[in-house]
């Protein structure tokens, strides 16, 4: 699950959604892409996409002033080129985060995506190693309202996978 995350930091530095982003990246990484190329590459999730990555849902707002929507499109295109199941959800009127109906819609889409593409835990560990914690956290978030409200039992959730 990717909520409007940066994916390729050199691109983000060179094509920022606002003029403060290169300054922020410079401070966080300790330099620019020319002086710290390896750190920019090592900090860019796009460079770690392989065919073994788990299914990924990407959500992004169209007026994001922190991470340009093009960052999510780069990830979507890379996942697609590697044959990784993915879905891109675009909210044209949202910024870097949202609330209300679009947030509820986001979690519905995440839940539907996870239900359609979930692996069992052993497959996740075998294919992604440390990513298992993040994916299992995403599953817990997606199901928490159903489980906590009593509309779905733990057993029903397990059987849906």
Distance CA 111, CA 68 (A): 25
**Could you tell me the pTM of the whole model?**
0.72
Q: Which residues are 57's β-sheet partners?
A: 87
Tens digits of residue pLDDT in 32-64: 999 999 999 999 999 999 999 989 999 999 999
Tens digits of residue pLDDT in 55-114: 999 999 999 999 999 999 999 999 999 999 999 999 999 999 999 999 999 999 999 999
pLDDT surpasses 70 at 124:
no
Helix (H) or strand (E) holding 139: helix 131-149
Q: Is 109 exposed, middle or buried (0-12, 13-18, 19+ CB in 10 A)?
A: middle
Per-residue burial over 10-48, b if 16 or more Cβ lie within 10 Å, else e, is bbbbeebbeeebbeebeeebeeebeebeeebeebbbbee
Helix (H) or strand (E) holding 75: helix 69-81
């Amino acid at each position: 699950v990717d909520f409007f995350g940066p994916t390729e930091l050199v691109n983000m530095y060179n094509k920022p959604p606002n003029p403060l982003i290169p300054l922020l990246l410079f401070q966080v990484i300790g330099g620019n892409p020319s002086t710290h190329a390896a750190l920019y590459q090592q900090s860019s999730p796009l460079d770690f996409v392989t065919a073994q990555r788990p299914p990924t849902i990407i959500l992004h707002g169209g007026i994001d002033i922190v991470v340009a929507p093009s960052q999510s499109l780069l990830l979507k295109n890379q996942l697609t080129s590697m044959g990784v199941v993915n879905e891109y959800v675009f909210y044209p009127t949202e910024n870097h985060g949202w609330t209300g109906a679009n947030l509820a819609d986001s979690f519905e889409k995440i839940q539907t995506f996870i239900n359609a593409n979930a692996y069992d835990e052993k497959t996740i560990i075998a294919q992604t190693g440390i990513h298992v914690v993040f994916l299992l956290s995403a599953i817990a978030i997606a199901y928490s309202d159903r489980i906590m409200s009593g509309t779905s039992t733990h057993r029903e959730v397990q059987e849906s996978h």
